[in-house]
Chain A
């Protein structure tokens, strides 16, 4: 399985993401610049965190119009796994691949620490290696992670089981219903504020994020590898 790590001007978690899938997961990975014309050769798309285009106007507002996003939308429509972390999540929201929007954290502070997440749905291609209701430790680092959507959208998210991760215990940013990560209706696009790519090695404080990437590979193998 070959991953594309999309790099925008201002991305700053791209190297962590590449390290997580290449070195810790052992999959193939390549950096892909924001003006790339095609993502056809990749099986999974990773949108890393950072401050694409300096967060000018709104987080993710400018990145969504970059050339590669047309290809990201195409990949999402084709059913390929698309993961957006932090700024990547904000870009997916701005691009309309996921519903809702981000507000400033209710504390107005940039928060950078490890938090507890609860796995609400372990039946997605991103979370199947976790137990349902498993509590995991994943770092967050954001100033705008206060997820918002209207009531009708929230009802849809719940009905379709699209809420994958919630903050366990204290909500760090004021997000609606403690939402930390959601998938699209089809289940192949995940956006989350916490950084699983920063939790892939016990040496660096924890490896709870690795199962997320393992889930993606497991699903891909089941779908693509012919059993002899």
Chain B
């Protein structure tokens, strides 16, 4: 069994209106050292072992559903986990 952490963010080239607002808020709180904020999604998947390599399956899930690759980038981390 695997624990998969998936991170989805808007692509660098795509303006992130939420990130811009949060950055402005941080600036108004005097955190002037913050130069950029990108807001994204974090998902945790529990994936059972199968014949298919888990990386391949998760990549396909990201491409098809978890991210919209027109405007979003994704990355994931896979950890092997012991069944509870």
Contact = CB atoms under 8 A, between A and B. Distances in A.
A197 interface: no
* Size bracket, chain A contacts: 20 to 34
Contact of B17 (A58, A65, A108, A149): A108
A148 B15 CA distance: 10
14 contacts: A57-B41, A57-B65, A57-B66, A93-B70, A94-B68, A99-B70, A103-B10, A103-B17, A104-B17, A104-B18, A107-B17, A108-B18, A174-B15, A174-B17
B81 interface: no
Q: Which 6 A-B pairs have the closest CB atoms?
A: A101-B70, A101-B71, A106-B17, A104-B17, A101-B68, A108-B17
A100 B70 contact: yes
A61 B68 contact: yes
A149 to B, nearest CB: 7
A57 B43 CA distance: 10
A65 B65 CA distance: 9
Given A99-B70, A146-B17, A174-B17, 18 more contacts: A57-B65, A57-B66, A65-B65, A93-B70, A101-B70, A103-B15, A103-B71, A104-B18, A105-B17, A106-B17, A107-B17, A108-B17, A108-B18, A148-B14, A148-B71, A149-B70, A150-B13, A150-B70
A119 B41 CA distance: 37
Contacts of A94: 68
Nearest to A99: B70
Contacts of A100: 70
Contacts, number: 37
Contacts of A65: 65
B21 interface: yes
A168 B39 CA distance: 31
Interface string A29-73: 000000000000000000000000000011001000100000000
A188 B65 CA distance: 26
Most B C-beta atoms less than 10 A away, residue of A93, A101, A106: A101
A41 B52 CA distance: 41
Interface in A125-171: 146, 148-150
A107 B15 CA distance: 12
Contacts of B41: 57
Interface string A70-92: 00000000000000000000000
A104 B15 CA distance: 10
Nearest to A59: B68
A108 B17 CA distance: 7
A14 B43 CA distance: 32
Contact of A58 (B13, B14, B15, B68): B68
A106 B41 CA distance: 19
Interface in B47-70: 65-66, 68, 70
B21 A108 contact: yes
A99 B10 CA distance: 17
